[in-house]
């Protein structure tokens, strides 16, 4: 199941990744001011609980770190320090998952909350489960920055799975689509598994037996409550960023009589072709936003009202309850009965 990327310029992320980068480089004798140069972020900002930053600001700091640090272990070291508790509600939601399988599902579902520079996908089969990071970045990075971000992401992923498992949990292998760098031993030290290079794509593979493990901090009530908080945070992001946010708000305001893309484009004083182009630039589409709106409303109606499934489907534009049930399963992975509890 793939995740999608938010708009790069919106300031919607706490600066926890930036803070970790600053602290690692300070230990190397590099000042915080130099690490933050050009990002529009001050040293005081990174310790402000209410400060919000953008993906572009984060990538600027990564570029600075790549230029300033002479230690090839830097991205791995930063990733090893990014414990889940640094991620706020998103991190605590992951910590309270009932199984490792739930962790993977939720990590993808709520990835928008994690300052993500790239797409992530998770798959499983009978013997292995795999994190895949397609070559789909928020912006086209230089080859050097691309490798830095991949190294950082792999280190973060290994760190989180070890933490969530609460016991030794080595990957089976890590695969990278570029030639082996001179510092291969650093990969193996931090990732704790065989590392393969010149592979078709970025993959981090585990034995599927871990998927049924119960994390030590698993808690049924806590995970349900925190998932609801994450859902709200996601919706707040979607309704407040870019052209896609404007479309989202218009659709949410006209429940039961959703306007067409052409009608929304007219309301925004642009053509439907221009609207489509703007949405593509924000890595989304009119249909994806419509599905998000319907999914959010369906979940809310099922949890907070006594409306019948058929009536909810009709309100959301489905004239056949069977089609609504199939769509709901596709959006949420759950049936109406499961959502109602």
What is the DSSP code string of 123-164?
Answer: EE-SSEEEEEE-S-BSS---HHHHHHHHHHHHHHHHHHHHHH
More confident residue, 1 or 180: 180
1: confidence class by pLDDT, cuts 50, 70, 90: very low
Q: Note the residue count of the chain.
A: 341
Output b/e per residue, 116-149; b: 16+ Cβ within 10 A. Answer: bbbbbbbeeeeeebbbbbeeebbeebeeebbbbb
**Average pLDDT for 238-248:** 76
Q: Express each pLDDT in 194-225 by its tens digit.
A: 999 999 999 999 999 999 999 999 998 898 88
**Average pLDDT for 6-11:** 66
- The pLDDT score that the predictor gives to residue 128 is 96
Beta strands in the chain (DSSP E): 121-124, 128-133, 173-175, 195-196, 202-207
For residue 297, pLDDT over 80 is answered with yes
Q: What share of the chain is helix, strand, coil (3-state, %, to 5)?
A: 55, 10, 35
- Cα separation of the two ends of the chain: 24
CATH fold of the domain at 239-340: Arc Repressor Mutant, subunit A (1.10.10)
Range in 35-39, 234-238, 249-253, 260-264 with the lowest mean pLDDT: 234-238
- The pLDDT score that the predictor gives to residue 52 is 85
Q: Express each pLDDT in 316-340 by its tens digit.
A: 989 888 999 999 988 888 888 888 8
- The pLDDT score that the predictor gives to residue 3 is 45
**Average pLDDT for 238-261:** 80
Domain boundaries, the chain: 16-212, 239-340
- The pLDDT score that the predictor gives to residue 225 is 85
- The pLDDT score that the predictor gives to residue 130 is 95
Q: Rounded distance, CA 40 to CA 18, Å?
A: 12
For the chain, counts of helices (H) and of strands (E): 16, 5
What top-level class would CATH report for the domain 16-212? Answer: alpha beta
More confident residue, 303 or 37: 37
**Average pLDDT for 1-5:** 46
For residue 192, pLDDT over 60 is answered with yes
For residue 273, pLDDT over 90 is answered with yes
Q: Rounded distance, CA 208 to CA 58, Å?
A: 33
Cα Rg, the chain, nearest whole Å: 21
- The pLDDT score that the predictor gives to residue 6 is 54
- The pLDDT score that the predictor gives to residue 2 is 43
For residue 171, pLDDT over 60 is answered with yes
Q: Rounded distance, CA 52 to CA 246, Å?
A: 20
- Percent of the chain exceeding pLDDT 90 equals 53
**Average pLDDT for 74-98:** 92
More confident residue, 64 or 4: 64
For residue 67, pLDDT over 60 is answered with yes
- The pLDDT score that the predictor gives to residue 185 is 96
Distance of CA 324 to the CA centre of its chain: 27
Find out whether 98 and 178 touch, Cβ atoms under 8 Å: no
**Average pLDDT for 87-114:** 90
What is the DSSP code string of 220-246?
Answer: HHHHHHHHHHHHHHHHHHHTTSHHHHH
Range in 5-9, 23-27, 336-340 with the lowest mean pLDDT: 5-9
Range in 50-59, 187-196, 225-234, 285-294 with the lowest mean pLDDT: 225-234
What is the DSSP code string of 292-311?
Answer: HHHHHHHHHHHHH----HHH
């Amino acid at each position: 199941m793939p995740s999608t990327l938010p708009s790069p310029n919106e300031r919607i992320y706490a600066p926890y990744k930036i803070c970790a980068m600053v602290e690692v480089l300070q230990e190397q004798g590099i000042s915080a001011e130099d690490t933050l140069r050009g990002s529009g972020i001050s040293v005081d900002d990174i310790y402000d609980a209410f400060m919000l930053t953008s993906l572009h600001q984060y990538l600027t700091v990564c570029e600075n770190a790549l230029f300033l640090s002479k230690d090839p272990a830097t991205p791995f070291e930063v990733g090893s320090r990014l414990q889940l508790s640094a991620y706020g509600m998103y991190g605590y939601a992951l910590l309270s998952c009932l199984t490792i399988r739930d962790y993977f599902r939720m990590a993808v579902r709520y990835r928008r909350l994690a300052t993500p520079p790239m797409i992530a996908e998770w798959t499983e089969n009978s013997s292995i489960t795999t994190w895949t990071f397609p070559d789909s970045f928020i912006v086209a990075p230089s080859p050097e920055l691309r490798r830095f971000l991949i190294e950082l992401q792999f280190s973060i992923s290994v760190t989180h799975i070890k933490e969530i498992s609460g016991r030794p949990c080595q990957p089976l292998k890590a695969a990278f689509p570029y030639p082996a760098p001179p510092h291969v031993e650093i990969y193996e030290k931090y990732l704790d598994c065989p590392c393969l290079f010149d592979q078709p794509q970025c993959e981090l593979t585990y034995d599927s037996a871990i998927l049924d493990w119960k994390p030590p901090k698993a808690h049924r009530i806590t995970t349900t409550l925190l998932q609801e908080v994450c859902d709200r945070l996601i919706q707040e992001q979607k309704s407040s960023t870019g052209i896609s946010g404007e479309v989202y708000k218009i659709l949410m305001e006209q429940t039961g009589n959703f306007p067409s893309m052409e009608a929304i484009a007219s309301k925004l004083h642009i053509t439907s072709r221009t609207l489509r182009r703007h949405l593509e630039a924000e890595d989304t589409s009119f249909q994806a936003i419509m599905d998000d709106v319907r999914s959010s409303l369906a979940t809310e109606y099922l949890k907070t009202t006594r409306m019948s499934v058929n009536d909810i489907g009709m309100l959301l534009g489905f004239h056949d309850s069977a089609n609504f049930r199939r769509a709901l399963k596709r959006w949420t992975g759950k049936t109406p009965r499961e959502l109602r509890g």
